[in-house]
Structure 1
């Protein structure tokens, strides 16, 4: 029997096994490279915030120096109380807290119920209703500005807080989607066991779904807080009186009256960012877990 010899170029290339020590060195280099890239990306993201902070600590005459210096010679901590008391920011803070709290409550109430219905209740039209709900995410927010303003004008609610938080009590498609995706990760056996024991749908939602969905609820709460706290367009459209202004409108008013005091502008902007940073750090663990499990449910 003749043995057929393959040409040199057609012979399979044998892969040499990699030594464990060499494989560990390769993995270590890959990890270090990934960490270095993450550190550089984080530094690039934090640089504007750090520049804002150092500008807020500079004296008035050191802001426009050329060439600019990153750190001032003297840290002027008095810029923060001076900026905060230049306008009634305590009133603006209370207004923002009220609007933000009511917006969060409205989003949680109006989004948890339909999310549970889309995740667990059986209906012939459930898929179509869910698709229509997702379709509303494609409608730009600018499209509904004029109709909504005309509606609240007819109801005589302009220059009140109602237009700022009332729409949140009618549901937000993105939050409903996030909650629905998380609800689908909860085992169906728990729901069926509760139904066998005679529990109704609202009791199942309150006793089983909500306690097991703290990451998703924290995610919706955080996103709703950030959106309501930093909202500028709606307060600009509906609020007329200065005593009703929120923090973003107060900063805009401050910029108009103290346009040349960049250090004070940066100081009041830093103070407005503090609640967002604190809330994010407090809910970071639940936020990351909620996003991860929601993504896993969508696979």
Structure 2
């Protein structure tokens, strides 16, 4: 029988603690995977149902089968050839790309100014920006529509690309994101640039922007997704079918007499394709931008 010594007793207690911590860690991981699995199913199952319904003939729409018994591509042919979906695709693409480029430039520039410069009223102005994030979009619809119907320069912005895009050319959330990130840009680099004779805008363009590409990339992706899926404002800002964006155009498939779910799901499936491409290609920027922004100032 081994003698009981302080070292043996300490070793046994350490081993028992390690076993206990291992069991606790295993339970924590199992619970985490369970929660993640449930969350994934709530997102993936509706997506699969949408794709499945897009291949169903009309007679199978109300049946309980999850997958079509007789898969068909007739829905895609009908939506592409017999509706204005290609035109709506183009409108959504123009608005989303224009808004994204505008946000990338103006939000990053404003965020750089708020992060690196001191000027009168800086704090109150920034607080106003943050306060605007608390205002629901629905409360801004009427002011936006009045502005687009009677713009200061005359004419009208209704049924124009600018009329659809102008509420999103600058965003308070983007300015806040870029300010948080650009606070981490070393002041020493900016001072060195000033000594070398670089202009203030040159410091932004040649120093701050290259160092902030992860945050700018994440901002662009989220902005593109938001503008591509926007529905309420494009619905208000357009009255002609040829100016509809994709979400607004797809709702035209429904009528008081019937709701062709197969065609609606087909249009929705086609609308997801650009979003999947953008997310797959720029996924690294989403993760890196959010992670690094959370570590800044």
Tell me how far apart the structure 2 counterparts of residues 137 and 236 of structure 1 sit (CA, whole Å). 22
Tell me how far apart the structure 1 counterparts of residues 178 and 24 of structure 2 sit (CA, whole Å). 40
Q: What secondary structure is seen at the aligned counterpart in 1 of 2:119?
A: coil
Q: What secondary structure is seen at the aligned counterpart in 2 of 1:280?
A: helix
Contact 1:235 1:249 in 2 (8 A): yes
Tell me how far apart the structure 1 counterparts of residues 191 and 54 of structure 2 sit (CA, whole Å). 58
Q: Specify the alignment match of 1:18 in structure 2.
A: 15
Q: Specify the alignment match of 2:49 in structure 1.
A: 51
Cα displacement (A) at 1:129: 2.0
Q: Specify the alignment match of 1:207 in structure 2.
A: 206
Aligned residues: 281
Q: What secondary structure is seen at the aligned counterpart in 1 of 2:90?
A: helix
Q: Specify the alignment match of 1:27 in structure 2.
A: 25
Tell me how far apart the structure 1 counterparts of residues 140 and 27 of structure 2 sit (CA, whole Å). 52
Q: Deviations over 1:219-249 (max 9, x none)?
A: 1111111111111122211212111111112
| Residue 286 in structure 1 maps to residue 282 in structure 2 | no
Q: Specify the alignment match of 2:5 in structure 1.
A: none
Q: Specify the alignment match of 1:113 in structure 2.
A: 109
Equivalent residue runs for 1:214-253 within 5 Å:
214-253=213-252
**Alpha carbons of structure 1 residues 235 and 71: separation in structure 2 relative to 1, 3 Å:** same
Cα displacement (A) at 1:19: 5.1
Contact 2:107 2:174 in 1 (8 A): yes
Contact 1:110 1:168 in 2 (8 A): no
Q: What secondary structure is seen at the aligned counterpart in 2 of 1:186?
A: coil
Q: Specify the alignment match of 1:162 in structure 2.
A: 162
Contact 1:258 1:265 in 2 (8 A): no
**Alpha carbons of structure 1 residues 142 and 71: separation in structure 2 relative to 1, 3 Å:** closer
Is the deviation greater in 289-298 or in 246-255? 289-298
Structure 1: tracts of 5 or more residues without a match = 1-14
Contact 2:253 2:260 in 1 (8 A): no
Cα displacement (A) at 1:146: 1.9
| Residue 188 in structure 1 maps to residue 184 in structure 2 | no
Q: Deviations over 1:244-296 (max 9, x none)?
A: 11111210112238934221221111111111122112211111111112222
Q: Name which of 66, 76, 82 aligns with 1:86.
A: 82
Moved over 6 A (4+): none
Aligned-residue CA RMSD (Å):
2.2
Contact 1:53 1:266 in 2 (8 A): yes
Structure 2: tracts of 5 or more residues without a match = 1-11
